[in-house]
Protein backbone atom coordinates (compact mmCIF):
# COMPACT_ATOMS: atom_id res chain seq x y z
CA UNK A 1 0.00 0.00 0.00
CA UNK A 2 1.35 3.36 -1.09
CA UNK A 3 1.13 6.33 1.24
CA UNK A 4 -2.18 8.16 0.97
CA UNK A 5 -0.54 11.47 0.00
CA UNK A 6 -0.95 11.19 -3.73
CA UNK A 7 -3.43 13.21 -5.77
CA UNK A 8 -4.30 12.87 -9.45
CA UNK A 9 -6.01 15.84 -11.12
CA UNK A 10 -7.65 16.86 -14.38
CA UNK A 11 -8.81 20.28 -15.57
CA UNK A 12 -11.32 21.24 -18.24
CA UNK A 13 -13.08 24.28 -19.59
CA UNK A 14 -16.51 24.55 -21.26
CA UNK A 15 -18.20 27.61 -22.72
CA UNK A 16 -21.90 28.28 -22.45
CA UNK A 17 -24.17 27.87 -25.46
CA UNK A 18 -27.01 29.94 -26.88
CA UNK A 19 -29.97 28.09 -28.40
CA UNK A 20 -31.30 29.33 -31.74
CA UNK A 21 -33.85 26.50 -31.86
CA UNK A 22 -35.04 26.24 -28.28
CA UNK A 23 -35.33 23.26 -25.99
CA UNK A 24 -38.52 23.63 -23.96
CA UNK A 25 -40.34 20.61 -22.59
CA UNK A 26 -39.40 17.11 -21.46
CA UNK A 27 -40.96 13.78 -22.36
CA UNK A 28 -39.05 12.14 -19.49
CA UNK A 29 -38.25 14.30 -16.46
CA UNK A 30 -36.07 11.71 -14.81
CA UNK A 31 -33.70 11.08 -17.73
CA UNK A 32 -34.09 14.64 -19.10
CA UNK A 33 -35.36 13.66 -22.55
CA UNK A 34 -36.75 16.57 -24.60
CA UNK A 35 -39.88 16.76 -26.75
CA UNK A 36 -37.98 18.32 -29.66
CA UNK A 37 -34.51 18.72 -31.17
CA UNK A 38 -32.67 21.97 -30.43
CA UNK A 39 -29.75 23.80 -32.06
CA UNK A 40 -27.24 26.13 -30.43
CA UNK A 41 -24.04 28.10 -30.90
CA UNK A 42 -21.26 27.44 -28.42
CA UNK A 43 -19.57 30.71 -27.48
CA UNK A 44 -15.82 31.17 -27.41
CA UNK A 45 -14.36 29.99 -24.09
CA UNK A 46 -12.77 33.32 -23.17
CA UNK A 47 -15.88 34.97 -21.85
CA UNK A 48 -18.78 32.87 -20.62
CA UNK A 49 -17.24 29.61 -19.53
CA UNK A 50 -16.75 27.28 -16.59
CA UNK A 51 -13.33 25.95 -15.61
CA UNK A 52 -13.27 22.86 -13.43
CA UNK A 53 -10.53 20.91 -11.71
CA UNK A 54 -11.28 17.46 -10.35
CA UNK A 55 -8.92 15.62 -8.02
CA UNK A 56 -8.84 12.11 -6.65
CA UNK A 57 -6.87 10.95 -3.63
CA UNK A 58 -7.13 8.02 -1.20
CA UNK A 59 -7.11 10.62 1.58
CA UNK A 60 -10.49 12.04 0.49
CA UNK A 61 -13.29 10.59 2.60
CA UNK A 62 -16.28 11.80 0.54
CA UNK A 63 -17.12 13.55 -2.75
CA UNK A 64 -17.06 17.34 -2.34
CA UNK A 65 -17.49 20.30 -4.66
CA UNK A 66 -16.77 24.02 -4.53
CA UNK A 67 -18.41 26.49 -6.92
CA UNK A 68 -16.68 29.86 -7.21
CA UNK A 69 -14.82 29.06 -4.00
CA UNK A 70 -17.88 28.17 -1.94
CA UNK A 71 -18.70 24.59 -1.03
CA UNK A 72 -21.95 23.29 -2.53
CA UNK A 73 -23.83 20.06 -1.91
CA UNK A 74 -23.42 17.15 -4.30
CA UNK A 75 -26.37 15.31 -2.82
CA UNK A 76 -28.81 16.47 -5.53
CA UNK A 77 -30.10 13.72 -7.82
CA UNK A 78 -28.65 15.37 -10.96
CA UNK A 79 -25.09 15.47 -9.55
CA UNK A 80 -25.47 11.91 -8.22
CA UNK A 81 -26.59 10.59 -11.60
CA UNK A 82 -23.65 12.17 -13.41
CA UNK A 83 -21.15 10.89 -10.82
CA UNK A 84 -22.64 7.38 -10.83
CA UNK A 85 -22.66 7.17 -14.62
CA UNK A 86 -19.06 8.40 -14.98
CA UNK A 87 -17.79 6.02 -12.26
CA UNK A 88 -19.54 3.13 -14.02
CA UNK A 89 -17.62 3.86 -17.23
CA UNK A 90 -14.28 4.71 -15.58
CA UNK A 91 -11.07 2.96 -16.65
CA UNK A 92 -7.62 2.30 -15.27
CA UNK A 93 -5.37 5.33 -14.82
CA UNK A 94 -1.64 5.05 -14.23
CA UNK A 95 1.20 7.47 -13.67
CA UNK A 96 4.43 5.49 -13.98
CA UNK A 97 6.60 8.41 -12.82
CA UNK A 98 4.75 8.74 -9.52
CA UNK A 99 4.14 5.00 -9.27
CA UNK A 100 0.36 5.42 -9.10
CA UNK A 101 -2.09 2.89 -10.52
CA UNK A 102 -5.83 3.41 -10.13
CA UNK A 103 -7.62 0.27 -11.26
CA UNK A 104 -11.04 0.32 -12.88
CA UNK A 105 -12.71 -1.10 -9.77
CA UNK A 106 -10.89 1.41 -7.48
CA UNK A 107 -13.06 4.26 -8.77
CA UNK A 108 -16.07 2.87 -6.88
CA UNK A 109 -14.45 3.52 -3.49
CA UNK A 110 -12.22 6.53 -4.26
CA UNK A 111 -13.66 10.00 -3.67
CA UNK A 112 -13.26 13.18 -5.69
CA UNK A 113 -12.90 16.85 -4.86
CA UNK A 114 -14.15 19.22 -7.55
CA UNK A 115 -13.55 22.94 -7.86
CA UNK A 116 -15.37 24.95 -10.52
CA UNK A 117 -15.26 28.63 -11.45
CA UNK A 118 -17.44 30.61 -13.84
CA UNK A 119 -15.58 33.47 -15.50
CA UNK A 120 -18.75 35.54 -15.42
CA UNK A 121 -20.80 36.48 -12.39
CA UNK A 122 -23.51 33.87 -11.72
CA UNK A 123 -25.67 36.83 -10.79
CA UNK A 124 -25.33 38.33 -14.28
CA UNK A 125 -28.55 36.63 -15.22
CA UNK A 126 -26.83 34.48 -17.82
CA UNK A 127 -27.32 30.75 -17.76
CA UNK A 128 -24.50 28.97 -15.98
CA UNK A 129 -25.88 25.43 -15.64
CA UNK A 130 -25.08 24.49 -19.25
CA UNK A 131 -21.39 25.36 -19.02
CA UNK A 132 -21.21 24.07 -15.44
CA UNK A 133 -22.54 20.55 -16.01
CA UNK A 134 -20.77 20.21 -19.37
CA UNK A 135 -17.48 21.07 -17.69
CA UNK A 136 -18.07 18.90 -14.63
CA UNK A 137 -18.84 15.83 -16.74
CA UNK A 138 -16.04 16.48 -19.24
CA UNK A 139 -13.44 16.95 -16.50
CA UNK A 140 -14.49 13.88 -14.51
CA UNK A 141 -14.52 11.83 -17.73
CA UNK A 142 -10.95 12.98 -18.35
CA UNK A 143 -9.87 12.22 -14.77
CA UNK A 144 -11.42 8.74 -14.88
CA UNK A 145 -10.15 7.99 -18.39
CA UNK A 146 -13.50 7.30 -20.06
CA UNK A 147 -13.15 5.80 -23.54
CA UNK A 148 -16.59 6.96 -24.68
CA UNK A 149 -16.87 9.48 -27.53
CA UNK A 150 -18.02 13.07 -26.90
CA UNK A 151 -21.56 12.20 -27.99
CA UNK A 152 -21.80 9.59 -25.22
CA UNK A 153 -20.24 12.03 -22.74
CA UNK A 154 -22.82 14.64 -23.81
CA UNK A 155 -25.60 12.22 -22.95
CA UNK A 156 -24.24 12.02 -19.38
CA UNK A 157 -24.08 15.84 -19.19
CA UNK A 158 -27.70 15.92 -20.40
CA UNK A 159 -28.71 14.24 -17.14
CA UNK A 160 -27.17 17.14 -15.21
CA UNK A 161 -29.01 19.80 -17.22
CA UNK A 162 -30.55 19.33 -20.64
CA UNK A 163 -28.88 22.27 -22.36
CA UNK A 164 -25.46 21.19 -20.96
CA UNK A 165 -25.15 18.38 -23.52
CA UNK A 166 -24.78 20.99 -26.29
CA UNK A 167 -21.72 22.59 -24.62
CA UNK A 168 -19.55 19.49 -25.14
CA UNK A 169 -18.91 20.62 -28.70
CA UNK A 170 -17.81 23.97 -30.09
CA UNK A 171 -19.37 25.70 -33.07
CA UNK A 172 -22.91 24.76 -34.09
CA UNK A 173 -24.49 21.90 -32.22
CA UNK A 174 -27.73 19.94 -32.41
CA UNK A 175 -29.20 18.11 -29.45
CA UNK A 176 -30.98 15.22 -31.14
CA UNK A 177 -34.04 14.37 -29.01
CA UNK A 178 -33.64 10.65 -29.82
CA UNK A 179 -36.27 7.91 -29.95
CA UNK A 180 -35.18 5.49 -27.25
CA UNK A 181 -36.82 5.39 -23.85
CA UNK A 182 -33.46 4.89 -22.08
CA UNK A 183 -31.99 8.15 -23.43
CA UNK A 184 -29.05 6.45 -25.15
CA UNK A 185 -29.67 8.35 -28.42
CA UNK A 186 -30.56 11.72 -26.87
CA UNK A 187 -27.23 13.45 -27.34
CA UNK A 188 -25.29 16.30 -28.93
CA UNK A 189 -24.07 16.23 -32.53
CA UNK A 190 -21.71 18.84 -33.94
CA UNK A 191 -23.24 20.42 -37.06
CA UNK A 192 -20.28 22.67 -37.89
CA UNK A 193 -16.97 23.45 -36.24
CA UNK A 194 -16.16 26.77 -34.56
CA UNK A 195 -14.14 27.76 -37.62
CA UNK A 196 -17.13 27.36 -39.96
CA UNK A 197 -18.74 30.80 -39.56
CA UNK A 198 -16.31 33.11 -37.80
CA UNK A 199 -17.78 36.41 -39.03
CA UNK A 200 -20.69 36.20 -36.60
CA UNK A 201 -20.53 38.56 -33.64
CA UNK A 202 -22.70 38.08 -30.58
CA UNK A 203 -23.76 40.97 -28.39
CA UNK A 204 -25.51 40.24 -25.13
CA UNK A 205 -27.65 43.00 -23.70
CA UNK A 206 -27.98 42.34 -19.98
CA UNK A 207 -31.40 43.78 -19.25
CA UNK A 208 -31.60 42.45 -15.72
CA UNK A 209 -29.17 40.58 -13.53
CA UNK A 210 -31.92 39.43 -11.18
CA UNK A 211 -32.50 35.69 -10.78
CA UNK A 212 -35.47 34.54 -12.86
CA UNK A 213 -38.73 33.93 -11.02
CA UNK A 214 -39.68 30.68 -12.74
CA UNK A 215 -36.88 28.12 -13.15
CA UNK A 216 -36.58 26.49 -16.56
CA UNK A 217 -37.21 23.07 -15.06
CA UNK A 218 -40.55 23.98 -13.50
CA UNK A 219 -41.49 26.39 -16.31
CA UNK A 220 -41.19 23.74 -18.98
CA UNK A 221 -43.05 21.22 -16.83
CA UNK A 222 -45.98 23.65 -16.53
CA UNK A 223 -45.88 24.32 -20.29
CA UNK A 224 -46.02 20.60 -21.11
CA UNK A 225 -48.95 20.16 -18.71
CA UNK A 226 -51.04 23.15 -19.79
CA UNK A 227 -50.06 24.55 -23.21
CA UNK A 228 -51.77 23.39 -26.41
CA UNK A 229 -49.29 25.40 -28.51
CA UNK A 230 -46.28 23.45 -27.21
CA UNK A 231 -47.63 20.26 -28.83
CA UNK A 232 -47.98 21.94 -32.21
CA UNK A 233 -44.52 23.46 -31.78
CA UNK A 234 -42.82 20.16 -30.92
CA UNK A 235 -44.64 17.98 -33.45
CA UNK A 236 -44.94 20.28 -36.46
CA UNK A 237 -42.95 23.50 -36.23
CA UNK A 238 -39.58 22.46 -34.81
CA UNK A 239 -38.97 19.40 -37.05
CA UNK A 240 -39.32 21.55 -40.19
CA UNK A 241 -37.47 24.49 -38.67
CA UNK A 242 -34.55 22.34 -37.54
CA UNK A 243 -33.96 21.17 -41.11
CA UNK A 244 -34.08 24.74 -42.42
CA UNK A 245 -31.73 25.92 -39.68
CA UNK A 246 -29.20 23.19 -40.49
CA UNK A 247 -29.30 24.29 -44.12
CA UNK A 248 -28.89 27.99 -43.20
CA UNK A 249 -25.86 27.12 -41.05
CA UNK A 250 -24.27 24.94 -43.73
CA UNK A 251 -24.69 27.72 -46.33
CA UNK A 252 -23.80 30.54 -43.93
CA UNK A 253 -27.11 32.06 -45.02
CA UNK A 254 -27.51 34.86 -42.49
CA UNK A 255 -30.94 36.04 -43.70
CA UNK A 256 -32.48 32.57 -43.18
CA UNK A 257 -30.53 32.03 -39.97
CA UNK A 258 -31.82 35.33 -38.54
CA UNK A 259 -35.46 34.75 -39.55
CA UNK A 260 -35.51 31.25 -38.06
CA UNK A 261 -33.72 32.35 -34.87
CA UNK A 262 -36.11 35.25 -34.18
CA UNK A 263 -39.19 33.18 -35.05
CA UNK A 264 -38.11 30.39 -32.73
CA UNK A 265 -37.39 32.72 -29.81
CA UNK A 266 -40.79 34.34 -30.28
CA UNK A 267 -42.58 30.99 -30.42
CA UNK A 268 -40.83 29.80 -27.27
CA UNK A 269 -42.05 32.93 -25.44
CA UNK A 270 -45.51 32.44 -26.97
CA UNK A 271 -45.56 28.94 -25.45
CA UNK A 272 -44.66 30.55 -22.11
CA UNK A 273 -47.64 32.91 -22.48
CA UNK A 274 -49.81 29.93 -23.47
CA UNK A 275 -48.88 28.23 -20.19
CA UNK A 276 -51.31 28.40 -17.28
CA UNK A 277 -50.57 30.46 -15.28
CA UNK A 278 -48.63 32.36 -18.00
CA UNK A 279 -44.86 32.71 -17.64
CA UNK A 280 -43.31 36.10 -18.48
CA UNK A 281 -39.58 35.93 -19.10
CA UNK A 282 -39.22 39.06 -21.23
CA UNK A 283 -39.95 42.56 -19.95
CA UNK A 284 -40.62 45.98 -21.54
CA UNK A 285 -36.92 46.52 -22.27
CA UNK A 286 -36.75 43.13 -24.03
CA UNK A 287 -39.76 44.10 -26.13
CA UNK A 288 -38.17 47.44 -27.02
CA UNK A 289 -35.04 45.62 -28.21
CA UNK A 290 -37.13 43.31 -30.42
CA UNK A 291 -38.91 46.35 -31.84
CA UNK A 292 -35.64 48.15 -32.57
CA UNK A 293 -34.20 45.13 -34.40
CA UNK A 294 -37.40 44.33 -36.32
CA UNK A 295 -37.76 47.96 -37.51
CA UNK A 296 -34.12 48.05 -38.62
CA UNK A 297 -34.40 44.70 -40.41
CA UNK A 298 -37.59 45.80 -42.22
CA UNK A 299 -36.12 49.17 -43.25
CA UNK A 300 -33.06 47.45 -44.80
CA UNK A 301 -35.23 44.89 -46.59
CA UNK A 302 -33.13 42.00 -45.24
CA UNK A 303 -32.19 40.89 -41.71
CA UNK A 304 -29.24 42.81 -40.25
CA UNK A 305 -29.37 41.23 -36.80
CA UNK A 306 -31.00 38.23 -35.09
CA UNK A 307 -32.30 38.28 -31.53
CA UNK A 308 -33.01 35.46 -29.16
CA UNK A 309 -34.17 35.41 -25.52
CA UNK A 310 -33.94 32.53 -23.07
CA UNK A 311 -35.70 32.07 -19.75
CA UNK A 312 -35.06 35.70 -18.77
CA UNK A 313 -35.19 39.25 -20.17
CA UNK A 314 -31.60 39.44 -21.52
CA UNK A 315 -31.18 39.77 -25.27
CA UNK A 316 -28.68 37.74 -27.23
CA UNK A 317 -28.08 39.54 -30.52
CA UNK A 318 -26.26 37.97 -33.44
CA UNK A 319 -24.86 40.11 -36.24
CA UNK A 320 -23.31 38.79 -39.46
CA UNK A 321 -20.04 40.73 -39.13
CA UNK A 322 -18.13 43.34 -37.12
CA UNK A 323 -19.40 46.26 -39.17
CA UNK A 324 -23.04 45.41 -38.51
CA UNK A 325 -22.21 44.69 -34.86
CA UNK A 326 -20.80 48.23 -34.56
CA UNK A 327 -23.96 49.68 -36.11
CA UNK A 328 -26.07 47.59 -33.74
CA UNK A 329 -24.13 48.87 -30.73
CA UNK A 330 -24.62 52.42 -31.97
CA UNK A 331 -28.36 51.88 -32.23
CA UNK A 332 -28.60 50.18 -28.86
CA UNK A 333 -26.64 52.99 -27.20
CA UNK A 334 -28.87 55.59 -28.84
CA UNK A 335 -32.06 53.92 -27.58
CA UNK A 336 -30.61 52.81 -24.24
CA UNK A 337 -28.12 55.42 -22.99
CA UNK A 338 -25.27 53.93 -20.91
CA UNK A 339 -26.10 52.91 -17.34
CA UNK A 340 -29.81 52.92 -18.06
CA UNK A 341 -31.76 49.68 -18.45
CA UNK A 342 -29.08 47.54 -20.02
CA UNK A 343 -25.42 46.64 -20.04
CA UNK A 344 -23.76 45.50 -23.25
CA UNK A 345 -21.12 42.89 -23.73
CA UNK A 346 -19.95 41.19 -26.91
CA UNK A 347 -18.52 37.85 -27.94
CA UNK A 348 -17.50 36.03 -31.07
CA UNK A 349 -18.37 32.45 -31.94
CA UNK A 350 -15.11 31.58 -33.59
CA UNK A 351 -12.01 32.24 -31.48
CA UNK A 352 -10.42 28.90 -30.78
CA UNK A 353 -8.25 28.84 -27.68
The answer to the question of residue 122 lying near ligand 2P0 (CB under 6 A) is no
* Residues whose CB falls within 8 Å of the CB of residue 274, separated by 6 or more in sequence, listed in order: 223, 226, 227, 228, 229, 230
Question: Using the rule CB under 6 A, is 162 a contact of ligand 2P0?
Answer: yes
Q: Compare residues 107 and 347 and give the one whose CB is closer to ligand 2P0.
A: 347
Q: Cβ 308 to ligand 2P0, closest distance in Å?
A: 9
Q: Name the residue nearer to ligand 2P0 (CB basis): 19 or 317.
A: 19
Does 161 contact ligand 2P0 by CB under 6 A? yes
Residue 311 CB, nearest approach to ligand 2P0 (Å): 4
Contact status: 32 vs ligand 2P0 (CB under 6 A): yes
Q: Which range in 1-9, 15-23, 104-112, 140-148 contacts ligand 2P0 by CB under 6 A?
A: 15-23
| Phi, psi for 176 (deg, rounded to 5) | -75, 125
Confirm or reject binding of residue 135 to ligand 2P0 (CB under 6 A): no
- 116 contacts ligand 2P0 (rule: CB under 6 A): no
**Pairing relation of β-strands 111-118 and 64-67?**
parallel
CB of 90 to ligand 2P0, least distance (A): 24
Binding window for ligand 2P0 (CB under 6 A); candidates: 56-64, 113-121, 159-167, 313-321: 159-167
Residue number of the CB atom closest to ligand 2P0:
162
Interaction of residue 267 with ligand 2P0, rule CB under 6 A: no
Site string for ligand 2P0, 308-337 (x = CB under 6 A): --xx--------------------------
Q: Does 177 bind ligand 2P0 (CB under 6 A)?
A: no
Footprint of ligand 2P0 on this chain (CB under 6 A)?
19, 22-24, 32, 38, 129, 161-163, 216-217, 310-311
Amino acid sequence: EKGSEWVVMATGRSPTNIAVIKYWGKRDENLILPINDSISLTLDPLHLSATTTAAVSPSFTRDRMWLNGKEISLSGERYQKCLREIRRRANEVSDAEKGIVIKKEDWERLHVHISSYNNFPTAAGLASSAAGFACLVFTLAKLMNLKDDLGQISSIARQGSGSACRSLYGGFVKWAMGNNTDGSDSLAIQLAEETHWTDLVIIIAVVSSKQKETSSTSGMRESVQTSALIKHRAETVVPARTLKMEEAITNRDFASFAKLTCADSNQFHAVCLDTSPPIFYMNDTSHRIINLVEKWNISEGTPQVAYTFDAGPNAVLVSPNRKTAALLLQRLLFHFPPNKDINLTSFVVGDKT
